[in-house]
Amino acid sequence: MRYLGVLAICVAAGLAIARPSVAKADERADLIGKVCGDAAAMGDVGRALIQMAANGSADDRNWAATITRSVIDRKLSCDGSRSPLLSLKNRAIFEIADAALTLRGSPDPARRSAALRILERQASSLPEPLFDAAIRDETDPGLKAQIAAVAQGAALNSSDPAKRIAAIGRIAANPDRRALTPTEAATAAVPSREDLLAGLRATHALASLV
């Protein structure tokens, strides 16, 4: 059968496809079908897996992590022989999904930290609940602070003026180096409280003109 190889991976992992906790069975079946589809369908799968990393239950995320790694490592087969081939664009999407799922699910702090470094480069384009959930669940204090800094950096670069204003306000209330991402903290000087407040007023003024 066309998706036999994909289904075999899921069953071997013990992921109980017939009884998903949050993502409905038909949603999972749809994603499995798209794994063997064209480039557009594969892109849809990658984006859905990122959403699962942000909003899915632990069961959903375990399922998604297995599918993600199997696609990246070409361990799935369609039609009994053909492995899904990722385009360069879709490989980048799946690697982001893999990093997001690792941040949410890996028991190894070093792997979670490495995943965060990958996600930092795309933070402003990722679902906001991803970082909120990661901050909530993170047990390592240092890594929790790094995730919070990346989330704040994403808000500062958001296309939504309200999110930028809120982020500037949070920095103004606590202007220290922890407000910066790890990369920024190594190279940037921290603005004064007065500069930040001036920036906040300017952002408010610009937002009122939109």
CA distance 50 to 135: 17
In this structure, of 48-52, 57-61, 127-131, 172-176, the range with the lowest mean pLDDT score is 172-176
In this structure, of 76-90, 106-120, 180-194, the range with the lowest mean pLDDT score is 180-194
User: Strand pairing partners for 129?
Assistant: none
Which of 106-110, 159-163, 173-177, 198-202 is most confident? 106-110
Which of 8-22, 29-43, 105-119 is most confident? 105-119
Q: What is the pTM of this model?
A: 0.71
pLDDT at position 136 is: 95
Q: What average pLDDT does this structure show over 165-170?
A: 76
In this structure, of 15-29, 137-151, 156-170, 184-198, the range with the lowest mean pLDDT score is 184-198
Q: Are 153 and 123 in contact (CB under 8 A)?
A: yes
Of 169, 174, 109, 171, give the one whose Cα is nearest residue 144: 109
| Residue with tokens 């557009």, as numbered in its chain | 40
Other CB atoms closer than 10 Å to residue 191's CB: what's the count?
Answer: 16
CA distance 65 to 13: 11
What are the domain boundaries of the chain?
A: 1-105, 122-210
